[in-house]
Amino acid sequence: MQERDLADCHFPVSDIFKRAISKIDFEPFKLSVEQIEHFHHFGYLTNIQIFDEQQVAILRSELSEIADPSHPKHDLFYEFHNNQSTDPETVLFHSLGHWRITPGFHDALWNPAFTKAASQLLGDKSIRFWHDQLFCKPANHGGVVAWHQDYSYWIRTMPMQHLTCWIGLDDATTENGCLNYILRQP
Ligand SMILES: O=C(O)CCC(=O)C(=O)O
């Protein structure tokens, strides 16, 4: 039987993602030298496919189940805000801790499309997961997360070796308000 709290499972609990153990398993997910250089030059890298369509469908379905505050594992969220927006006209769903609750969000942490890229971008190091986080901004009345810089309080490693992996579960386009990057001066 599966653990109630998937934080107690230190291995994938489903076959949603390809298992990668040996070096050769990770090969298809390897970033190119140009991609790594782009990251180091500009501070970001885009267009990395982390999930396929079927995996996105699973995660969306899991999310719609656990977004219900009466979900039996609701207590496992570290944070859960149905609406964190300061404007009553808009909605900003925000939660942390999905990886403890459903197989898809849990096993995504072992997804080689994510772990291989993260490891390479951090200089071919072993990687450690810090936290997951989910925002939902519904069409036409989505709330806003203001511009901010997280790195000032990300002091878990010395020297600083943190990475954010932003993944869209909806189509994110210029028209509907996708993520924007501000280029740092090299
Ligand atoms: O996606 C967002 O709206 C905000 C993301 C964010 O705050 C973060 O990754 O730290």
Residue 86 lies in a domain: yes
Residue 77 lies in a domain: yes
Residue 50 lies in a domain: yes
Is 130 in contact with 109 (CB distance < 8 Å)? Answer: no
Residues 6+ apart with CB under 8 A from 23: none
Residue 29 lies in a domain: no
pLDDT reported for residue 186 = 60
Say how many Å lie between the CA of residue 145 and the centre of ligand 1. Answer: 7
Residue 33 lies in a domain: no
Tokens of 52: 């396929």
Residue 36 lies in a domain: no
Q: Determine whether the shortest distance from the Cβ of 144 to ligand 1 is under 6 A.
A: no
Say how many Å lie between the CA of residue 2 and the centre of ligand 1. Answer: 31
Domain that holds residue 90: 41-186
pLDDT tens for the chain, 186 residues long, are 789 999 999 999 999 999 999 999 999 999 999 999 999 999 899 999 999 999 999 999 999 999 999 999 999 999 999 999 999 999 999 999 999 999 999 999 999 999 999 999 999 999 999 999 999 998 889 998 888 888 888 888 888 899 999 999 999 888 888 888 887 666
- Which value, in Å, is the radius of gyration of the alpha carbons in the chain? 17
Look at residue 95 and give its three-state secondary structure.
strand
> What is the maximum alpha-carbon separation in the chain?
52
Is 145 in contact with 81 (CB distance < 8 Å)? Answer: no
CA gap 124, 93 in Å, rounded: 34
Atom 7 of ligand 1, nearest CA residue: 145
pLDDT reported for residue 77 = 98
Residue 132 lies in a domain: yes
Question: Which atom of ligand 1 lies at the shortest distance from residue 145's CA?
Answer: 3
pLDDT reported for residue 69 = 94
| CA distances in angstroms from 54 to 16, 28, 63, listed in the order given | 9, 18, 14
End-to-end CA distance of the chain: 52
Residue 48 lies in a domain: yes
DSSP 15: S
pLDDT reported for residue 37 = 97
Q: Please state the domain count of the chain.
A: 1
pLDDT reported for residue 139 = 84
CA gap 57, 46 in Å, rounded: 21
Q: Determine whether the shortest distance from the Cβ of 164 to ligand 1 is under 6 A.
A: yes
Say how many Å lie between the CA of residue 135 and the centre of ligand 1. Answer: 7
